[in-house]
Every structure is written in C-alpha cells, then in structure tokens.
C-alpha cells in the first residue's frame, strides 16, 4: 500500500527555498470574469500538494502587493501548475492579473503553502463530498483530480454554487472528469439565477438544500464522508452548520476561506498595557532577531518595520503564510480560523494577528 503523506513543514527553510520565479506559459479565459494563468515548471524543488496555494508578490503602481491564489491543478496529474483568478469589484490584484498578464511574464511567488490538503492513501475507498462556490472551486478541483488519480476506489461528489450557467468555472473540465470516471465522480450544480430551461437546484445553498443533497448522495452515511468546503463565509457557515446537525465529526470537515468579508482584524490591546513595548525573539532562516513590538502592532508588522524578511500574504489570519511556532512566552491571537485545532494545540500561531502579552516570547518561523 502506497501512502501519500502531507508534506512535512520544514523547520528552517532558507529564503531561496521559500521563493520561486514563475513564468507564464499560457493565459486561458475560463469565464467572462475569470482567467487561468498556466506556468512553466520553475525547477525540481517546486513541489506542492493538492489544495495548496501560492502567494504572488507583485509590484503594482510602485508598491509590493501580496495575494494568495490556490493551485487549481493536481500534482498527480498535470504537467504545469496553474492558478485561476476571478475579478473582485475594484480589486487591485485580481483585476491586474486578469487585464495585464501574458505568456512570458515572470513574477515572484512564495513556496506553495496551506493545509487544505487531503491525506491520500492508495487502495482506500473513501467517500468525499466537496462544497464550492464561485472561485472556491480552484483548490477543490485540484483535490478532486488528485483523489481520482490516487485513490482509485474512492468516490467524489461536487456540490457547486454559481450565479448561472455562464459563471461556472471549469465547466468542460468537470464534465470531462465525470465521463472519464464513471461511477466515481458526480457534480451537482446549484444556480441562483439560471436560465428558464434549468432543471437542477435553483437558489442559494441554504440548510434545506444542503440537507436535501446530503440525504440524496450519502443517505445514512453522511457522518462517515470526508468534506472539503471553499467559498464565501456565509456559504461555508451554512454548510458547516448543516454538517454539525448531521453530527459529522469536525476532523472530517476541511475548510478554506478566501475572504471573510469582515474588516481586517485589528490588533487588540486587551491584556497589553498601552505604550508598552515588548521584545520578541524570532528565529528565521537560521538567524535569531530581537523585535520590539509596540502595543498597537502585530508581531508581523513590527518585524516588517524592522526590515526582517518575514513570510506573509493575506495579513488577515486566513492564509497561514505567516505561521510560526511559539517556543516560549504568551501571545494573544485575534483570529485563528486558518489554523486547525491540532496546530493550535501544538503551539502554532499566525504572526499577522498575534501580539505578545508579556516578556520572553520566542517564535520559530518557517
Ligand atoms: C488561501 C487563499 C487562497 C485564495 N485563492 C484564490 C483563488 O484561487 N482564486 C481567486 O480568485 N481568489 C483567491 N483568493 C482571494 C485572493 O487572494 C484575493 O483576496 C482576491 O483576488 C481579491 O484581491 P484584490 O487585490 O483584487 O482585492 P482587494 O484590492 O484586496 O479588495 C478590493 C475589495 O474587494 C473586497 N474583497 C477582497 N477579496 C474579496 C473576495 N475574495 N471576494 C469578495 N470581495 C473581496 C475587499 O474587502 C475590498 O473591498 C484566495 C485567498 C486566500 C486567502
Ligand atoms: S499573512 Fe495570511 S495568515 Fe498571516
């Protein structure tokens, strides 16, 4: 039996390992407001797992801007890694990537990261149910293709929410997957504003539609399936609440958030006397740095102010690019959605939303 384990986090990845130059091979239009960027394979050290994302570092209008994009390809199947970017109204990076990218363009990315990853075991026969909405399909299709390629006895159902038939990303690719994997992959589309001829589910995914679909596809085995969910926060909450009603154990539910819709978490001053500055020791790339963190800054902000080359992307506690391990002392984290319970118990923290609450804090990053 061949096991495909999650890639172990390197404890001291060096700077050159953490960054890659990616060259665009092809730009492909997926829908009216979504393009895929397909990359040449950078070098042999570039490895990723299904469901992981890249952090792009882009110089836009004289500023360095970072954003995360999930790899929409399967490392078990596709030759060239790719991302798919959907325009966000007035969004700086999503519109830039849709308007200006062309074959041959090169930009810098951080190494693939993220924990929205299945643990695949060859020969296993599992039942997976994926819930995606809009651009949330990107990590999900990577996971589906990988499951179908590795666990050849497993079954996947995709439940995919979109506005109408024209906004379904990867429509042909999903249909191809269905015909190439008879009896192993099925897709259920839920459209909020479909054409009149549409005879599938209509409306927005709510608890009633979710329960209906679950009863239909899994019957009395709902609590034995493994779930992957990616979409807007309201959609994810609806699906998660419904799964809780069916008593699905939390460890069988995997979630990835692109955007919460909430304002960026503001560093809290609770437990931290104002005006107080606390010194924090950060271990990064084999070096140790002393960083002075004022009460109105996060550990990441303070380290960047001191020109320390910390990894980061969303700065909202979602992507985990800034993850570190607390070796000593106490911190306060304002948002921990990006971390699993297991990681929190192991002492992992997100530096972009964490502040020290007392002396002696020591963190290992990488
Ligand atoms: C782990 C991870 C993986 C991601 N993968 C993908 C992916 O595969 N494909 C993809 O298209 N996006 C993905 N995203 C979202 C992406 O990183 C950006 O947030 C998104 O492209 C918007 O960036 P922007 O610069 O265009 O918008 P900004 O300039 O940052 O924001 C413009 C406005 O839009 C709002 N906004 C920001 N993001 C969103 C959003 N996602 N939905 C609705 N409103 C928003 C902001 O609050 C602001 O008002 C991912 C995010 C994370 C954290
Ligand atoms: S930078 Fe994304 S979680 Fe901290």
17-47 pLDDT, tens digit per residue, is 678 999 999 999 999 999 999 999 888 789 9
Class of domain 120-256 (CATH, top level) = alpha beta
Share of the chain above pLDDT 70, in %: 91
Residue in the block written with tokens 């809780």: 244
| pLDDT confidence of residue 151 | 97
| pLDDT confidence of residue 136 | 98
Token duo for residue 185 = 């992959």
- According to DSSP, the β-strands at 19-31 and 185-191 are unpaired
Q: Separation of 98 CA from ligand 1 center, angstroms?
A: 13
How many CB atoms sit inside 10 A of residue 153's CB? 10
Q: Separation of 277 CA from ligand 2 center, angstroms?
A: 22
Average pLDDT, stretch 273-284? 85
Tens digits of residue pLDDT in 292-336: 999 889 999 999 999 999 999 888 888 888 999 999 999 999 887
How many CB atoms sit inside 10 A of residue 95's CB? 15
Which atom of ligand 2 is the closest one to the Cα of 320?
3
| pLDDT confidence of residue 13 | 52
Q: Name the more confident of 62 and 9.
A: 62
How far, CA to CA in Å, does 225 sit from each of 116, 128, 157, 210? 16, 6, 10, 14
Q: Does the C-beta of 321 come closer than 6 Å to ligand 2?
A: yes
- According to DSSP, the β-strands at 348-350 and 53-60 are unpaired
Query: Could you say which architecture CATH assigns to the domain 16-113?
Result: Beta Barrel (2.40)
| pLDDT confidence of residue 270 | 54
Query: What CA–CA distance (Å, rounded) separates 109 from 239?
Result: 32
Tens digits of residue pLDDT in 168-209: 999 999 999 999 999 999 999 999 999 999 999 999 999 999
CA torsion through residues 232, 259, 165, 159, sign: negative
The DSSP-derived string for 95-118 is HHHHHH--TT-EEEEEEEE-S---
Tens digits of residue pLDDT in 332-362: 998 877 787 788 999 999 999 999 999 999 9
- Where in the chain do CATH 2.40.30.10 domains reside? 16-113
| pLDDT confidence of residue 214 | 97
| pLDDT confidence of residue 208 | 96
Could you say which ligand is closest to the alpha carbon of residue 352? 2
Q: Does the C-beta of 16 come closer than 6 Å to ligand 1?
A: no
How far apart, in Å, do the first and last CA atoms of the chain sit? Answer: 31
Could you say which ligand is closest to the alpha carbon of residue 265? 2
Q: 159, 205 in Cβ contact below 8 A? A: yes
Q: Name the more confident of 32 and 9.
A: 32
* pLDDT over 90 (residue 264): no
Q: Does the C-beta of 352 come closer than 6 Å to ligand 2?
A: yes
- According to DSSP, the β-strands at 201-202 and 19-31 are unpaired
Which residues have C-beta within 8 Å of that of residue 173, sequence separation ≥ 6?
A: 141
Question: Which of the four pLDDT bands, split at 50, 70 and 90, describes residue 16?
Answer: low
Tens digits of residue pLDDT in 62-90: 888 999 999 999 999 877 999 999 999 99
Could you say which ligand is closest to the alpha carbon of residue 314? 2
Which atom of ligand 2 is the closest one to the Cα of 353?
4
Where would I find the H helices in the chain?
15-18, 92-100, 137-150, 171-180, 207-218, 233-245, 299-305, 341-346
Q: What is the chain's mean pLDDT, rounded?
A: 90
How many CB atoms sit inside 10 A of residue 192's CB? 15
| pLDDT confidence of residue 338 | 78
Q: Separation of 188 CA from ligand 2 center, angstroms?
A: 32
Local structure of 167: helix, strand or coil = helix
| CA angle 174–177–179, rounded 5-degree value | 115
Q: Name the more confident of 4 and 334.
A: 334
Class of domain 277-365 (CATH, top level) = alpha beta
Q: Does the C-beta of 232 come closer than 6 Å to ligand 2?
A: no
Q: Separation of 251 CA from ligand 1 center, angstroms?
A: 27
| pLDDT confidence of residue 3 | 33
Which atom of ligand 2 is the closest one to the Cα of 317?
3
Question: Which of the four pLDDT bands, split at 50, 70 and 90, describes residue 255?
Answer: very high
Which atom of ligand 2 is the closest one to the Cα of 312?
1
How many CB atoms sit inside 10 A of residue 318's CB? 21
Could you say which ligand is closest to the alpha carbon of residue 303? 2
Query: What CA–CA distance (Å, rounded) separates 198 from 194?
Result: 6
- Where in the chain do CATH 3.10.20.30 domains reside? 277-365
Q: 99, 34 in Cβ contact below 8 A? A: no
* pLDDT over 50 (residue 57): yes
Q: Classify residue 266 by its DSSP letter.
A: P
Q: Does the C-beta of 304 come closer than 6 Å to ligand 2?
A: no
Closest CA to 364 of 240, 238, 280: 280
Query: What CA–CA distance (Å, rounded) separates 143 from 185?
Result: 12
The DSSP-derived string for 28-55 is EEEETTEEEEEE----TT----TT-EEE
Which atom of ligand 2 is the closest one to the Cα of 68?
2
Q: Name the more confident of 10 and 131.
A: 131
- Where in the chain do CATH 3.40.50.80 domains reside? 120-256
Closest CA to 30 of 159, 156, 137, 108: 137
């Amino acid at each position: 039996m061949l096991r495909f384990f999650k890639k172990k986090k390197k404890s001291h990845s060096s700077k050159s390992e953490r960054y890659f130059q990616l060259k665009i091979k092809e730009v492909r239009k997926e829908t009216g407001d979504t393009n895929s960027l397909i990359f040449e394979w950078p070098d042999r050290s570039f490895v990723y797992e299904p469901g992981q994302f890249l952090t792009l570092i882009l110089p836009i209008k004289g500023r360095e801007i970072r954003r995360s994009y999930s790899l929409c390809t399967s490392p078990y199947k596709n030759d060239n890694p790719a991302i798919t970017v959907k325009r966000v109204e007035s969004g700086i990076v999503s519109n830039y990537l849709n308007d200006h990218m062309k074959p041959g363009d090169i930009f810098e990315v951080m190494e693939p990261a993220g924990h929205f990853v299945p643990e695949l075991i060859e020969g296993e026969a599992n039942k997976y149910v994926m819930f995606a909405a809009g651009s949330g399909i990107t990590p999900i299709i990577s996971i589906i293709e990988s499951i179908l390629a590795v666990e050849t006895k497993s079954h996947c159902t995709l439940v995919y929410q979109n506005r109408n038939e024209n906004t379904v990303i990867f429509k042909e690719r999903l249909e191809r997957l269905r015909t190439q994997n008879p009896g192993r992959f099925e897709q259920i589309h839920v459209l909020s504003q479909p054409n009149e001829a549409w005879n599938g589910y209509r409306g927005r995914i709510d608890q009633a539609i979710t329960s209906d679909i679950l009863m239909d596809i899994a019957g009395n085995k709902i609590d034995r399936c493994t779930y992957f969910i990616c979409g807007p926060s309201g959609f994810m909450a609806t699906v998660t609440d419904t799964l809780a009603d069916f008593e699905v154990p939390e460890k069988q539910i995997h979630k990835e958030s692109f955007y919460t819709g909430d304002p960026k978490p503001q560093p809290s001053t609770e437990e931290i006397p104002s005006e107080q500055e606390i010194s924090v020791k950060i271990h990064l790339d084999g070096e140790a740095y002393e960083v002075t963190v004022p009460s109105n800054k996060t550990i990441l902000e303070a380290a960047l102010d001191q020109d320390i080359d910390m990894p980061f992307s969303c700065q909202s506690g979602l992507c985990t690019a800034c993850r570190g391990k607390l070796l000593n002392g106490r911190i306060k984290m304002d948002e921990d959605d990006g971390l699993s319970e297991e990681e929190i118990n192991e002492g992992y923290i997100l530096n972009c939303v964490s502040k020290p609450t007392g002396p002696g804090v020591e963190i290992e990053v990488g």
